Chain A
Amino acid sequence: MNDTVSKVVPGPGRSRYTPGVIPYAKMGYWDADYVPKDTDILALFRITPQEGVDPIEAAAAVAGESSTATWTVVWTDRLTACDSYRGRAYRVEKVPGSPDQYFAYVAYDLALFEPGSIANLTASIIGNVFGFKPLKALRLEDMRLPVAYVKTFQGPATGIVVERERLDKFGRPLLGATVKPKLGLSGKNYGRVVFEALKGGLDFVKDDENINSQPFMHWRDRFLYTMEAVNSAAAHTGEVKGHYLNVTAATMEDMYERADFARDLGSCIVMIDLVIGYTAIQSMAKWARANDMILHLHRAGHSTYTRQKSHGISFRVISKWMRLAGVDHIHAGTVVGKLEGDPATVAGFYDVLREPSSPANPARGLFFEQDWAGLRKVMPVASGGIHAGQMHQLLTYLGEDVVLQFGGGTIGHPMGIQAGATANRVALEAMVLARNEGRDIWNEGPEILAAAAKHCQPLRAALDTWKDVTYQYASTDTVDVVATATAS
C-alpha cells in the first residue's frame, strides 16, 4: 500500500456552526474512519495542493466543494441532515514518484445525485472544485459507480453483442476507415471513397468529427450519396455495410432532424461528437435505442482535459460516463498508433468499456472494483495512424471486440482505396485464423502477414509501403507504476 497520510481531526460538534471560516477538515469533510457504503459513489482525485496547504485539508476541501460546502459556515446547514450529505474524504496517499501530489479518496452519498443524469453527476464532481485556489491542480482519476446508481441509466443503445448480431459479423475485430480528406469533398466525391472502402472489404466507413454541414457539402447531400455507396457495396459483397453519419449539429432539433433522415435512408448507425455535451449524448442514446440504431461517439476535444496527468479528468472516467450515457462505440486508443496511449492505461479503458465487471487493478489505472449490473458493453474504436503491418500487435493489445479504423492505411494505399481495404481485411482474417490455430502471433506476426500477402498483392504493397512507420514517444498519461514508451 502507498504511504497513507493520516491525521485525526475532531468531529464537528456544536462549535462547528459558529459563524466564520473554519478548515474543511474540521467541517466534517474529512473522516479517516469512514467505511464507504456499497451505495456510495466513490471518487479518486489526484490533488496538487498549493505550497503550505496541508494535503488532508486540501482533500477535505475537494470533498466539500464537490458536495455541500461553501467557503464559510452557514446556519441553514442545521435545517438539513447535513452530516449525511457531506462528501467525505476518507483516505489520502502520496502519489509514488510525485512528491507534490496526493491521491484523495472521496465518498458521496447516493442521495446527492439525480438518477440517470450525467449532467447532474458531473456538475458536482467536476463543478466549481476544479478552479479552487488552494489547489495548484486537480485530476479526477477514477470513480466507483454503485450498482444502485448504474441501474438508473439506460446504457448503450445497442451494445457489442446486439451490434454484432445485427451486422452478422463475428469472431474478428470490425474494420473501419475515416474518409479523407476530412474537409472539402463534395457529396458525390465523398460517397466514392465510402463505396471503394466498403466494397474492398471494410465493414464501416466514418465521417470525421468536423464533417457536419459545410459550404462544400451539406449534410443531406452527404447522407444521400453515402447511402447509395453503402447499399451498392452491400450488393457487391452480400455483407451488411455501414457508414457512421455524423449528426452533430448546433441544436438538438437539428440533430434529431439529421438522425431521422439517416434512419429513413436505411442507415444502421449514426455518429455524434463528444463536444455536443453530456445531455445531448444521453438524448441521442435514447433516440438510438428507440430507433434501432447503433450510436458512434467520436471523442473530439477530450485531450484538452484527459492527457495531462496533473489536471483534468482521466479518460477512464469519461469511458465510465459514456457507458452510462449510452453510446455504442467510443474511440479509446490504439496503443500502437499516432495518438497518446500507454498500453496499460489503454487496457484499463477497454476493461471499463467491455467488461461486465472489473476488479480494482492499479497496474491498469483502475482504482476501484466496478460492477456494471448488466449494462450493455461499449465497442472501443482504435483509430489514428495504424496500418495492416501492425495487425498482430493490434489483435494482441486490443482483442476481438474492437473496431480497427485504418483511415490513411486504407485511402493512402498505393493501389487505391479498394486495395487498401482488402489489404486490411486479409491481414486481419489471416491473423485471427493463425491466432485460433494456436500460433504465437506476437512473435510470428510478420511471417503470418508475409504468407497471407502471397495470395494478396494489395497486402504485399501495404506491408512494403508502411513497414517503417512507428510512433515511438513516451506517453504522458501513464499508470503510476512506471512510464512506458509506446510500442511501434
Chain B
Amino acid sequence: MRLTQGTFSFLPDLTDEQIRAQVQYALDQNWALGIEFTDDPHPRNTYWEMWGAPMFDLRDAAGVMQELQACRAANPGHYIRINAFDATRSFETVRLSFIVQRPAVEPGFRLQRTEDRGRMIRYTLHPYATDKPAGSRYPVQE
C-alpha cells in the first residue's frame, strides 16, 4: 500500500527541487518549517518525532533542505514529513504538511474487527510495521 497522509501523497514522490519550492512558498508566507519522522504510520499517531524545533526566522529554503538531508541520513526506513506552522491569529496551526521520505516497502494496516452488541462492530487499525520494536520496523537498504 501507499500511505496517503500529507498534502501531496497522490503525486509521484517529490524531487528535492519540488520540495525546495514548497518550502520556499511556506517561508514566503512567514510560516515556520518543522521536520518530523516516525516509523509508526497510524493515522492517529499525532506526535511524530521532531527533528529539532520548528525553524523560525528563516528566509532561505536551503537551511531546511540541509536539515532534511541530515534527518534522512539519520533515519533511513522512516517516514519524514515537513510541516509549515502559521502563527497568524485565527490560524495558529499547521498550514501545509507533506511526506518527503517513505520506507521502500509499506506493508499497511490490519483492520481488526471486534463484534459487539447487536450488529455493532468495533474497529481497530493496526500498522503491521509496529509489530516490531521502534527503530527496526522497516528494512533499510544499504
Contact = CB atoms under 8 A, between A and B. Distances in A.
A164 B97 CA distance: 11
B111 interface: yes
A455 B8 CA distance: 14
A33 interface: no
B125 A231 contact: yes
B8 A429 contact: yes
Contacts, number: 107
B37 to A, nearest CB: 16
Contact of B125 (A235, A377, A452): A235
Contact of A165 (B93, B111, B123, B125): B93
B136 interface: no
A174 to B, nearest CB: 11
Interface in A402-439: 422, 425-426, 429-430, 432-433, 436-438
B10 A235 contact: no
B25 A438 contact: yes
Interface in B94-142: 94-98, 108-111, 119-123, 125, 127
B123 A172 contact: no
A171 B96 contact: yes
Interface residues of A, number: 39
A232 B121 CA distance: 12
Interface stretch (B54-62, B63-71, B84-92): B84-92
B97 A235 contact: no
Contacts of B53: none
Nearest to A240: B43
Interface in B1-52: 1, 3-5, 7-12, 18, 21-22, 25, 41-44, 46
B5 A238 contact: yes
B66 to A, nearest CB: 21
A232 B124 CA distance: 10
Contact of A239 (B5, B22, B89): B5
Contacts of A432: 7-8
A238 B93 contact: no
Given A356-B90, A425-B10, A234 B43 contact: yes
Given A231-B111, A235-B109, A436-B22, A201 B10 contact: yes
B10 A422 contact: yes
16 contacts: A161-B90, A165-B93, A168-B43, A201-B4, A224-B121, A227-B123, A228-B121, A234-B125, A238-B42, A239-B5, A264-B120, A266-B123, A426-B11, A432-B7, A436-B25, A452-B11
Given A168-B43, A224-B121, A235-B110, 4 more contacts: A224-B119, A236-B1, A239-B5, A436-B22
The 10 tightest CB contacts between A and B, nearest first, are A171-B96, A171-B7, A235-B111, A231-B123, A436-B25, A238-B3, A356-B90, A235-B109, A170-B97, A437-B21
Interface of A: 161, 164-165, 168, 170-172, 201, 220, 224, 227-228, 231-232, 234-240, 264-266, 356, 374, 377, 422, 425-426, 429-430, 432-433, 436-438, 452, 455
